Amino acid sequence: MPVRIAVLIPCYNEEKTVASVVASARKSLPQADIYVYDNNSTDNTAELARQAGAIVRHVFQRGKGSVVRRMFSDIDADVYLMTDGDMTYDLASAPKLIDVLIKGQNDMVVGVRKEQEENAYPMFHRFGNLFFTMLVRILFGIEQTDMLSGLRVFSKRFVKTFTARSNGFEIETELNIFTVMNRLPYAEVETKYFARPEGSFRKLSTVKDGFKVLFMIFRLFKEERPLLFFCLLALIITVFVGNYLTVMTYSSLFLSFLLIAMILFFGIFFHGQQKTQRELRRLLYMTYPFTDVRD
């Protein structure tokens, strides 16, 4: 039985490049079903994608995270390759990424971007990627090189157990943290990365979307590692109380220690809840057998 491959392309106003992306995906993966999910484009993205041979669907809730959530819910396949519709990723590397996924029995393979042209990757985007990659490494222990890459391959059991919370470009951050917190095997493959073609414009806002990614990191830190989060919060309050210990009244001191005790209790309580949720997610994950390389 052949491996069923789905190429997922979330798009918003990519009429300059979407047909080329579909054609490149078809050339590299002729056996794959190619889906373009149009996210309220105001240009001819959907029509040009359809003419190029893609299966076109529409998502009206704005944001890349909303589109990914819908794609993962709708499409049934054995292997999923997700790429952007801006022609910046080299889809000639797609078979290699899929090979690493299947033969290595990984659940996610990330295409690590290697610039092929000057200014393909804006300076502030590069700095943000390095900063967020390091921050996630410190908070979650994930060893990844390119946290915000949009070229990824997933197993079916990853896609069908991933519960997306984000609506925008912070979705890549959530994918990475989901992987490490559920102890899923993943790998990286170096891929070429090109500048956007002339007339094609970036949708990512460095400042606005950067703050969304930062907020998502701390939100997931609280939700995925609640015991550590609340212990750190209790430590901060303890240090603050210690600095004012000599001037505090007995009543304020009692209330401070009561607050610290409550914070620690919340940490233990939510840690237990998170552990149960992770175990249930693992049971669901195990219901999806991995695609056999011999198929």
CATH number of the domain bearing residue 196: 3.90.550.10
Q: Residue 214 phi/psi, 5° resolution?
A: -60, -45
pLDDT above 70 covers what percent of the chain?
A: 92
Structure tokens at 72: 């993962």
Confidence of residue 121 (pLDDT cuts 50, 70, 90): low
Averaged pLDDT for residues 64-83: 95
| Share above pLDDT 90 across residues of the chain, in percent, rounded to a whole number | 62
Whole-number average pLDDT of the chain: 89
Which pLDDT does position 211 carry in this prediction?
Answer: 87
223: left (phi over 0), alpha (psi -120 to 50) or beta: alpha
Token pair listed for 63: 């944001």
Q: Are residues 130 and 273 in the same domain?
A: no
Q: Cα separation of 86 and 95, whole Å? A: 20
Confidence of residue 250 (pLDDT cuts 50, 70, 90): confident
Asked if the structure places residue 192 within a domain, the reply is yes
Q: By residue range, what is the domain housing residue 179? A: 5-221
> Strand, helix or coil at 227?
helix
Nearest in space to 21 (alpha carbons), one of 3, 38, 42: 38
pLDDT at 233: 94
What pLDDT, on a 0 to 100 scale, did the predictor assign at position 161? 94
> Is 60 exceeded by the pLDDT of residue 294?
no
- Residues with Cβ within 8 Å of 88's Cβ and at least 6 positions away in sequence, in order, are 120, 193, 194, 195, 196
In a shared domain, residues 178 and 229: no
Identify the CA nearest to 222 among candidates 161, 170, 181, 168: 181
Q: Does residue 295 form part of some domain?
A: no
Residue 274 pLDDT = 92
CA 67 – CA 167 distance, rounded (Å): 8
Sign of the four-CA dihedral 184, 24, 120, 71: negative
Residue 180's pLDDT band (boundaries 50, 70, 90)? very high
Cα 193 from Cα 116, distance rounded (Å): 6
**Residue 140, domain member (yes or no):** yes
Same domain, 31 and 128: yes
Q: Considering the domain boundaries, does residue 290 fall inside one? A: no
User: Quick one: average pLDDT of 262-272?
Assistant: 95
Greater model confidence, 101 or 197: 101
Same domain, 142 and 114: yes
Q: Please check whether residue 289 lies inside any domain of the structure.
A: no
**Can you tell me the mean pLDDT for 186-201?**
82
Task: Tell me the mean pLDDT in the region 56-78.
Answer: 94
Choose the final residue of a domain: 178, 197, 221.
221
Cβ-count burial 140-157 (b if 16+ within 10 Å, e if not): bebebebbbbbbbbbbbb
Q: Is the confidence at residue 201, as pLDDT, over 80?
A: no
Which among 20-29, 132-141, 188-197, 274-283 has the top mean pLDDT?
A: 20-29
Is the confidence at residue 144, as pLDDT, over 90? no
- 168, 186, 221: which is the final residue of a domain? 221
